[in-house]
Amino acid sequence: MKSFLPFLILILSLLLIASAPLSAQNHSHPLDPLAWQEYWTVLETLQEAGNLDGKTRFSHINLLPPDKESVWNWKGTGSVPRLAYATVHQGADTYEAIVDLNKRTLESWVKLEGIQPTWLGEEFGKMSDIAKEHPEVIEAMKKRGYEDLTLIDFFFGPPGYFATAEQIDRRIAHGHASDPAGFRNSWGRGIEGLTIVADMHSMEVLRVVDEGVVPVSETNTDFDAGSIPSVREVPGRMIVHQPDGAGFKIDGHVVEWQKWKFHVRPDHRVGMVISTLSYNENDEERKIMYEGFLSEIFVPYMDPAFGWYPRNFIDLGEYTAGGFTNPLLRGLDAPDYAHYIDGLFMHDNGRPKHVPNLIAIFEKESGDPSWRHNSTEMGPESRVKRDLVVRAAAVVGNYDYILDWVFQQDGSIVVRAGATGIAEAKPTLQKDAVEAGSSQFPDDAYGRFVDPHIVAVNHDHYFSYRLDMDIDGTNNSLQIDRLTTQVLPDDHPRRSVWVNDPMIAKTESEGKLKMMMNMPALWRVISNSRTNHVGYPASYQLMPGMTALTRLSSDDYPRRRAGYIDHHLWVTPYRADERFAAGEFPTLSLPGEGLPKWTAANRSIENTDIVIWYTMAMHHMVRAEDWPVMPVLWHSFELRPFDFFNRNPALDLPKR
């Protein structure tokens, strides 16, 4: 009996914890993601209010961001109100619910008019059986040699919205078919020229568009290990080992490393959120950023055919059913020695699901120096550079994205997005570029051949990052350092030099900027309350990396729906409800939502709490080397301290 007593105590303790009311469950940080029981609190509260039944569906159940000032002032004790919001589907109607998780009360229940919520996971295949029984679909498939559609896949997703009579006031979907039989990679097996236009609310096929028969390519594009005939040798095994453990500390979702401190959480819609970022300088935690995350991705395709021109995807607002990010593969997507963070997302019915390895945190030494100099007087001096990487990965249909925040010892942060996965492609009648080159209507007019009878279609990627910078507090401004040419006097040996012509952006219109190589400028968020030791305002610079400008015409509907792509930089005054660059509900949305709508008021952005939005873009003309799976293509930008410190903050790195 005596040996059984500790076990009995343990069991009773666990039962007490499990049965504790939510109000007694303490959260270590007000920005922590929703806990398992909190999802159920939302569902139970809605049920008690009569707003939940077996047919109710959810696009999102997520933490409603608490008051910003309360979070900054939170010191580990005391409570901050904890609320959740839910986007609720009730038949053809959509509601927004706000639930107080501690009080278990429904604070708000509002019907949303004139919007379409994010696509549900079940909707992608919901029309499949109906489509297979439609006479026009059956006829079109017979023309392509298919008598039995049992093994044919149909996929229905939201098309680009053009406000046609057919689309207005409908939850429109476009359906496409593929023949995956015998292949693992079905992305090269699309049945071209056939589009099924459907209404997801009435569950009916509105019309079938047949642009002509194109045989499915028989080229095998599988790339799993068993499909590769010979695997190269990679000699010289490498092992990274930290015998003393990791060099960072994690308490819940709060990370401390090399003077950095921040909160990180998985997020159903945007994948990962970095919050309350500060840097410890001489025992003072200096604020840098309240919140940073990927706000939206826009991917328009460049083919005018009916089956392709509506493919202009607003990924985070349309395609995040089940959660934007996916589990990282240990030792493959991130090192074995990384610290992995699990998370909770939800099913369409709102019930939580556990997702492992959503975020990886690890240190990395690439062999680069943080700084160096070799002089006769001091001799060689160099310091080893070590970074902290915070990583998530997403799959959106055919594309995968690797999303990194890389913290550096010199106070800089590199934000990276790596595109990989499978380029979307279509079968063609013409075999290759040689045959297409002799045709008046080449099949590679809007893409490039990547295999016989397969063309990968040209497209773009536009990433929008929302960065709520708080440089030594919230009293900030945007300074634009314009580098201009100064012509020197006629009697001077030099003819010209460049000088800085700074300006402070006063309103939102002055904060809409493009990166132009022929008109260079530095973009800096400056503190209006603190200077460095020589009198310059403390600041952080947003330094763009490789990016692009849109080639779509200004009157093109897709460009107008994702208006944030018009500029590389937008600056807005902080508003808690302005979080998504293309608007909160971009599915089948009208033009002008999000940043264009908010900034039309031309609000003041001087000496106030500001948010900067950075657009990072790439034009993708697919090459043969991107097929059948694309090597990771990285794009990045950097947040750099600029007069934030008095000297190089990495001077104190140890010498090895």
User: CB neighbours (10 Å) of residue 96?
Assistant: 17
Domain boundary among 78, 93, 112: 112
Q: In this prediction, what percent of the chain has a pLDDT beyond 90?
A: 93
* DSSP code for 215: P
Give the tens place of pLDDT for each residue, 329-342.
999 999 999 999 99
Question: Does residue 572 belong to any structural domain of this protein?
Answer: yes
Average pLDDT estimate for 280-293: 97
Residues paired with residue 249 on neighbouring β-strands, in sequence order: 256
Residues paired with residue 190 on neighbouring β-strands, in sequence order: 178
Q: What is the pLDDT of residue 79?
A: 86
Same domain for 163 and 41, yes or no, is no
Spatial contact of 189 and 183, defined as CB atoms under 8 Å apart: yes
More confident of the two residues 7 and 522: 522
19: confidence class by pLDDT, cuts 50, 70, 90: very low
Give the tens place of pLDDT for each residue, 166-183.
999 999 999 999 999 989
Same domain for 478 and 594, yes or no, is yes
C-alpha dihedral, 624 to 625 to 629 to 631, nearest 10°: -150
Using alpha carbons only, give the angle 453, 551, 297 rounded to the nearest 5 degrees: 80
Domain enclosing residue 151, as ranges: 123-227
Question: Does residue 136 belong to any structural domain of this protein?
Answer: yes
Same domain for 161 and 41, yes or no, is no
Average pLDDT estimate for 438-467: 98
Question: Does residue 417 belong to any structural domain of this protein?
Answer: no
Same domain for 320 and 463, yes or no, is yes
Same domain for 480 and 614, yes or no, is yes
Spatial contact of 381 and 368, defined as CB atoms under 8 Å apart: no
Same domain for 529 and 559, yes or no, is yes
Question: Does residue 320 belong to any structural domain of this protein?
Answer: yes
Spatial contact of 240 and 335, defined as CB atoms under 8 Å apart: yes
Sort strands 57-64 and 83-90 into parallel, antiparallel or unpaired: antiparallel
Same domain for 97 and 203, yes or no, is no
Same domain for 521 and 611, yes or no, is yes
Q: CA-CA distance, 311 to 175, in Å (whole number)?
A: 12
CATH of the domain at 185: 3.10.450.40
Question: Does residue 379 belong to any structural domain of this protein?
Answer: no
Domain boundary among 112, 138, 173: 112
Same domain for 501 and 586, yes or no, is yes
Spatial contact of 120 and 94, defined as CB atoms under 8 Å apart: no
State which amino acid sits at residue 577: D
Residues designated catalytic? 315, 399
Q: What is the pLDDT of residue 78?
A: 83
CATH of the domain at 562: 2.70.98.20
Q: What is the mean pLDDT of the chain?
A: 95
Same domain for 496 and 565, yes or no, is yes
Counting the structural domains of the chain, the total is 3
C-alpha dihedral, 141 to 147 to 149 to 152, nearest 10°: -60
Residues paired with residue 334 on neighbouring β-strands, in sequence order: 330
| Of residues 344, 331, 360, 332, the one with CA closest to residue 264 | 360
Same domain for 75 and 141, yes or no, is no
Sort strands 83-90 and 93-100 into parallel, antiparallel or unpaired: antiparallel
Question: Does residue 163 belong to any structural domain of this protein?
Answer: yes
Domain boundary among 88, 112, 136: 112
Average pLDDT estimate for 402-425: 98
Question: 510 pLDDT exceeds 80?
Answer: yes
pTM of the model: 0.95
Q: Which residues contact 52 (CB under 8 A, 6 or more apart)?
A: 43, 46
Give the tens place of pLDDT for each residue, 236-252.
999 988 999 999 999 99
Same domain for 102 and 185, yes or no, is no
Q: What is the pLDDT of residue 27?
A: 53
Question: Does residue 102 belong to any structural domain of this protein?
Answer: yes
Q: Which residues contact 589 (CB under 8 A, 6 or more apart)?
A: 115, 116, 161, 314, 317, 561, 582, 583
Give the tens place of pLDDT for each residue, 309-329.
999 999 999 999 999 999 999
Q: Say how many CA atoms lie within 13 Å of 307 toward its Cβ.
A: 23
Question: Does residue 267 belong to any structural domain of this protein?
Answer: no
Paired tokens of 69? 């000032």
Terminal C-alpha separation, the chain: 58
Question: 14 pLDDT exceeds 70?
Answer: no
